Structure formats: C-alpha cells, structure tokens
Amino acid sequence: MRVNSMKTAARTVAAGAAVAVSLGSAQAALAAPAPGVPPANVVQVPCIPGALAADITSAVAGQTLNLVRSCNYRLTSALPVITKNLTIQGNGATLQRSYIPGTPDFSILTVNSGAVLVLNYLNLRNGDSAGDIAPPATGSKGSAVKGDGPVNNSGYGGAIYNNNGTVTVNGGTLSNNTSTIEGGAIYSKTRLTVNRVLFVGNTSVSGGAIATLFDDPATVNHSTFNANRAADGGAIFVNDSMTVTDSGFTKNTSTDSGGAIYVNDGSPTVTGSYFSQNQAQHGGGLYNESTLTVTGGSFTGNTAASDGGGIRNDNTMTVNGTAFSLNGADDGGGLYNDSTLSMNGGSFTSNTAASDGGGIDNEDTMALTSTVFSLNQAEDGGGIYNNEDATITDSQITDNTASSTGGGIFNNEDVTLTTSVVDNNHPDNCAGVSVTGCTG
C-alpha cells in the first residue's frame, strides 16, 4: 500500500510538472507576436491619403510608417508638418500632389526644426511650393526674401522643405516637382543626405532639383539628375559645403549659370561624377563662384552659349584627373577660368570654342600639371587661349587646331612651359606673345 501511494504521488508530481511546462509554453506563445504582426514601433499605413495624414499626426517619435507597396497616395491637401523623428518606409509607393485642377500648392513633406526624417524607397511627384511672393529675376544669385505664407507653401522645396530638421533620402524617384524660389524637389536649410535617388524634371529658379542654405553641409551619393531646370543650377544650387560622389548629371538646363551645378558658397567637392549634355549660358556643366574641388569623373557634350562649355570658374578651383571631351562654348570649349585654377592630371579632347580656347580659355591665373590637350578646336588657341598667367608642367598639347592662329597655344600675356610638349598643332604650335620653349 505504501509502495502504491509512493507511485501515485510520483505520478501526481510528474503531471503537475507537465501542466506547469504546458502553461509556461502557452504564456510564452501569448507573449510573442503572431507571424506577420509588425513590432510596436511600425505602423502599417493603408493606401488612403487621409490615413497617412492621421498616422503622421499621431506618430510617436522613433516610429516607422510602412506604406503599401507601389500605392499612389494622391494628395489634395498638404500633409501635416513633421515635428518628431520619423521613418517612412516607402516600399516603392508614391506621394503625389494631385493633378486635379484647383488642388492647392504645397510641399509634399515639410520637416520642422529638431525633427529627423528618413525616407526609404519612396517616390515624390508633382509637389508645388509656389510661395506668396514673386521669384527673383531670372539669373539672379542667391535666395529671394521669403514671404509670410504657410511653411508648406513657402516657395522652397516642392517635394521636401527641410526647415532646420535632418533629412535622409534613400532610393526612390523625385519627379516633376517645382518651387518658385529654390529647390524644385528639395530645399534644405540644415542637414541633408541623399543616397541613390533619381531626380527627373524638377524646376525652380535656383536649384532645379536641390538647393541648400548657408548652414550644415549636404551629401549626395550615387544619385542621378536628368532634365531638371532652373535659372541657376539646373540640378543643384550649392549655398554651403556639399559632397557629391559618384553621381550623374544629364540634360539639365540653366537659363543663366551652371547647367547641372551652381556653386554659390562653401567649399564643396565633386568626386567621380559625370556631366553629360547639360546646357547653360555660362558653365554648361558647372559654374563655380566659391571654393571647389573636382576629382575624377568626366564632362562630356556639355554646352554654354557664352563661356565654359564644361566648367566656368569664377573663384578658386582645383581639378584632379578629370576628362573633358566634346564640350562647346563661344569661349573656353572645355573650361573657362576667370580666377584661380589648379589642375593636376586629366585631359581635354575634341572640345570646341567658336572664338577663344578650344580646350581652356584662361583669363586669370592657371597652373596645369600632367594635363593632355588633343584634337580641340577654336578660332584662336585651339588647345589653350591664355590672357593672363599660365604655368604648364609635364603636359602635352598636340594635334589641336585654330582656324585663325595659335593651334596649340595663343598667348596674350605670360606662359611658362616646363618639360611639356607642344607639337603637331595647326596652323602653328604657338602664337601671340612668345612662349619660351614653343616653336613651329
């Protein structure tokens, strides 16, 4: 009897343990989220514009709004201003200001001071920040005076107006956005990072795609700018330090200066980027009015109606290992220098000037090292037209053509040649003021 009692007790204890394990497993299962249920900091936003607006308003700092894949959120009114840290996971969705006639003007996203906004794979289309004042006259430089209109219709940033926040854009396409003052797609007063974004058909007075203010620097990586338009800076207007890396600029247009980029202030760098078929009155590819460094990359097929088919420099510029080819202008088919230029490496090939300097027209101070000029054409100075001071070291100037004189170099002032070759240019190698070491 005692043995049976002991066995019964053992079975009872074992059964109790099994029940405890079973209850514990059930409680653990209840605590874990069911498959497919997002964590608490992710909000699923249905394909309804009103729901998106409500979720922006009610969002808690640090949340992610997860949009419906490939949904087109057609907006007939401005979204709430973003005032807290927020991530929008686009999944290829589009925020589009409605094309319905009578839709008011507004920036699609406005970010206020202190807020951090991260956009991932989100498209922004047809934003229109008209503002309440007339834009500056065509060709004017810098910002107009802001009016007292609402922040989401300020005249700045048709798609994104970064009003002293921090904005990061990863992937997506920003297309057909416009503003009346600066930044057709994005206007940023403070911190901005752009990674692998396509900008197409955006329009403003300054910076058809992007414009920055005098404050924190901006970063643009692996992005593409196509067919954007402005009076200054068809794609980008730089008012502070900006880093542009491995990006492409094609068929952007400026009615005044900087077909692709206009550098107004700061010390930006452009590295490993290509400029092709951009157009402007001055600086078909790029116009510099500050301190600029260009490294690597290429300027191909850009045109300026006046000067600097590839680049016009009006301040201090350093160019390292950059190729200029098939660019054209009235003066300076490849590059027009009106201040201080230092160039190390790189080449000028098949550039054309209707008047002076098929490769370079130098109007101030220029130092070239290990630079190659070949097959460039102009009326005077097929390779180089020098109107001030030029130092040329370890370089080659060959097979260039002038329809008038100075097939290789036309010199009006002072050229110093050191261990450089000037040969086989037509109708002559050098003309104008004598260049020591240049014959034929």
User: Around 71, how many Cα atoms within 13 Å sit in the side-chain half-sphere?
Assistant: 18
Backbone angles phi, psi at 435, to 5 degrees: -115, 115
Residue-level pLDDT at 215 = 66
Angle at 360 between CA 354 and CA 364, to 5 degrees: 115
Same domain for 101 and 248: yes
CATH code of the domain in which 136 resides: 2.160.20
Residue-level pLDDT at 5 = 39
- Looking at 269, 304, 319, the residue that finishes a domain is 269
Dist. CA 425–CA 397, nearest whole Å: 8
Q: Which residues of the chain have pLDDT under 50?
A: 1-37, 133-140, 142-148
Same domain for 331 and 256: no
* Any domain includes 22: no
Same domain for 403 and 317: yes
Same domain for 252 and 107: yes
* Any domain includes 19: no
* Any domain includes 260: yes
Dist. CA 312–CA 352, nearest whole Å: 15
Same domain for 346 and 232: no
Same domain for 384 and 327: yes
Ranges of H-type helices in 255-377: none
Residue-level pLDDT at 132 = 63
Residue-level pLDDT at 440 = 80
- Looking at 234, 269, 304, the residue that finishes a domain is 269
Same domain for 237 and 125: yes
Domain coverage including residue 85? 38-269
- Looking at 269, 288, 306, the residue that finishes a domain is 269
For residue 119, list its beta bridge partners. 88, 169
* Any domain includes 289: no
Same domain for 306 and 241: no
Residue-level pLDDT at 151 = 86
Amino acid (one-letter) located at 432: G
* Any domain includes 124: yes
* Any domain includes 325: yes
* Any domain includes 33: no
Same domain for 252 and 337: no
Same domain for 228 and 309: no
Same domain for 112 and 210: yes
Amino acid (one-letter) located at 26: A
Same domain for 384 and 257: no
* Any domain includes 11: no
Domain count, the chain: 2
